[in-house]
Amino acid sequence: MRDLWMVTDSLQTYSTTSISFQNGEATQQDLDAAQKLVLENLQRLQSNTEATKSLGVNFTPDSLINKWDTVQAPEDITTLFEDISAAIREVGDKSYLILDPDLDTYYLMDAVLLKLPENQAALYKLKLLTDQAAANNGLSLIELNEMQNYLSIITQNLEGISRGLAVASENNVNQAVSPSLQNSFKKYADSLNDYLTTTQQNLDTEARPKDIGELNRLYSQAVSAGNEFYMLSSQGLEQGIQNRTRAFSLRVTLYILLSAISIIIAFFIGNRLMKSISTPLRKTIEAAEQFASGNLTTRIDYSSTDEAGRVIHAFNRLAAEVEANQNTLNQRSEAMADKNLKLETISRVAREVTSIRDLPSVLVTATNLVHENFGYYHVGIFLLDDRKEYAILVATNSEGGRKMLDRGHQLKIGETGIVGYVAESLQARIALDVGNDAVYFNNPDLPKTRSELALPLVVSGQILGVIDVQSTQPMAFKQEDIAILQILAEQLAIAIQNANLFSEAKKAVDAARLAYGELSRDAWGKILQNQPRIGYIATQPTTAETNVNQVEPSLAKAFETGDLILGTDGLSISVPIKIRGQAIGAVRLKKSEISEAWTQEETNLAIALSDQLSGALESARLYRESQQRAARESLVSDISTRISSISNVDAILRETVQELGQTLKNTSVTFQLLDQPNGEKPASDARRSVNRSPER
């Protein structure tokens, strides 16, 4: 680093000499001497190439020499200054000087590596500005600001070096700070302060130096004092590092001796400790292998508090934490799996229940499915009576529940038991260990119950009933079970409502079918009474009427029973023709003697043809009735039209009787006006009687 400093100092000398030469203040001989000094210092630096390579720095003396050869202008020298300053910092960073320094070497390094090079550069730039002010009769505002900045940098660094030397002197453990170094710093500080003070005082109002010669003299003194202080500082730093290195070497030697002694002692102690260490180590390895294989309950039994004991205790704590975390994870996984299983089960139960349309079947199926899938001790379904005063047990799965069902078990809403509470509040309720719950009654029919959950069956805001679930486990139900089982309760309520609606719709359809069937049977009865029995027999290729007064037994039996009758010969079948469940005739089908017996497919075809014939006959009857109804309405309309055109009462009566007599064949028509409702006293002036003979 001293070589780099000397290169910097010779460059500054060359630069100032070059400026003086340009101003006529120096000779060519002075310039050549300054240039020669720079080259000598660079060559001296080049001779230490191996040292720079050993540090692994990026710059090389050859690169600085090459840049020196290309120097043409002052700004080129400035660039070279910056490269050398960077090289000084890099040498300091890469060298062993910064490794764990004491206070004395630390502050000397701060001065040698940072503050003195920075002051040297700032002092040189300040010198250039004063020379420029002398040559140009003043400085610009920017240049004045630069001058003030350099003055501030030099002052701050000087103060920092002063504080650092004070601390280093108080902590001079490596003898890096000598009295001559302190005297040199005082000389450097005084000469530098003289130059700075004179520079500030020697400028007139237009920033022109009054006495440039005095400034140059003070500058030379400051540079010379700075070089002296730098050399002493670097020597002191080197001496401190050497002292520190010797002390370090001594400590290393001592450590080696102590290590050798320790090794010898450890050899004897190690044999003794080997057994005490190998046993817990072996246990630890075995336990670790078991733990890694999945046995999380593995623990090491070791009571000592030595180092091995602390390791083993740490392993046991870690194993306990891992086991606890794994147990927690397993519990959460089991809870999640249980929740998913319950949801899947509820979905399956809901699908089965909602597919049933018969209410009793819905209720019984629901209780059995909940019991089978969830394993509850007792499942009961209560429905509210019409007045919504009692909740009546209508379905259950348990033996005790069936006893209650046989007794007509019912609970007062809002007063009796958990079911009564839920039926009134429409809110689910859990009772844990209900045998000890003073609010509810113990049920002798269900003695094993220890937990109970009741859920309202609500649809569209209307309560239909309550599902009561009981378990033999004291803590069988949790709060989160309500949300899951409430889904089942809602689906069950919908299934109950659907079954009720289906039952009501079925009753309405059955009533309509019954009414229509009675009307149809009456109509066919009248038709069959007023029409002689007719029959037809078809044998390929002809069809003819047959006498039905002698009905074959198989036809008569099919007509009477309404079932398909197979003949004794196995070749004939008789199929009833039924309309609305009432047989109105029968069809007999007979195969030839050489044919095979009737197959199921042929029998089904015959039944299907019979159904088609039934539909056709019913359609024909309905068409006939519609024709008759139309004829009657037409006749009534014609009679009403003729009567409405007559204004005489007698004529109206006569015309009415005549038309009715013509219309109603074989009927006697009498029309008589009465003056009393009971008809006991005919009106003498309003009596008319017209008889129409039967032939009319």
Using an 8 Å Cβ cutoff, are 590 and 599 in contact? Answer: no
Q: Is domain 356-506 classified as CATH 3.30.465.10? A: no
What is the reported pLDDT for 467?
Answer: 92
Q: What residues does CATH 3.30.450.40 cover in the chain? A: 356-506, 532-628
Residue 466 has a CB neighbour count (10 Å cut-off) of 30
* C-alpha–C-alpha distance, residues 606 and 481, integer Å: 58
Residue 465 has a CB neighbour count (10 Å cut-off) of 26
Residue 585 φ/ψ, nearest 5 degrees: 180, -175
Lowest mean pLDDT among 22-36, 561-575, 660-674: 660-674
Which CATH code of 3.40.640.10, 3.30.70.260, 3.40.50.720, 3.30.450.40 fits the domain covering 532-628?
3.30.450.40
Q: Which residue has the higher pLDDT, 622 or 82?
A: 622
For β-strands 410-412 and 572-579, DSSP reports them as: unpaired
- What pTM did the predictor assign? 0.38
Residue 360 φ/ψ, nearest 5 degrees: -60, -40
The mean pLDDT value for 367-377 works out to 86
The mean pLDDT value for 30-51 works out to 70
What is the reported pLDDT for 441?
Answer: 45
Using an 8 Å Cβ cutoff, are 396 and 380 in contact? Answer: yes
What is the reported pLDDT for 677?
Answer: 56
- Residue given tokens 């037409």 in the structure block: 634
Residue 382 φ/ψ, nearest 5 degrees: -110, 135
Largest Cα separation within the chain, whole Å, is 180
The mean pLDDT value for 10-23 works out to 69
The mean pLDDT value for 42-51 works out to 66
pLDDT tens per residue across span 56-68: 556 677 777 777 7
Residue 160 has pLDDT above 80, yes or no: yes
The mean pLDDT value for 536-565 works out to 72
Residue type, 12: Q
What is the reported pLDDT for 522?
Answer: 72
pLDDT tens per residue across span 634-643: 878 877 887 7
Which two tokens mark 197? Answer: 């003070």
Residue 539 φ/ψ, nearest 5 degrees: -135, 125
Residue 134 has pLDDT above 60, yes or no: yes
* C-alpha–C-alpha distance, residues 582 and 438, integer Å: 64
What is the reported pLDDT for 686?
Answer: 35
What is the reported pLDDT for 286?
Answer: 76
Q: Please, what is the average pLDDT of the chain?
A: 76
What is the reported pLDDT for 693?
Answer: 39
Where residue 103 falls among pLDDT bands split at 50, 70, 90? confident
Ramachandran bin of 414, using left for φ above 0, alpha for ψ from -120 to 50, beta for the remaining angles? left
Paired strand residues for 597: none
Where residue 382 falls among pLDDT bands split at 50, 70, 90? very high
What is the reported pLDDT for 610?
Answer: 84
pLDDT tens per residue across span 178-197: 788 888 888 888 888 888 88
Where residue 208 falls among pLDDT bands split at 50, 70, 90? low
pLDDT tens per residue across span 386-441: 888 899 999 999 888 888 889 989 888 987 788 888 888 888 888 876 555 544 54
Which two tokens mark 647? Answer: 């204004």
Q: What percent of the chain has pLDDT over 90?
A: 2
Question: Best-predicted range by mean pLDDT among 41-45, 110-114, 146-150, 529-533?
Answer: 146-150
Q: What percent of the chain has pLDDT over 70?
A: 74
SS3 544: strand
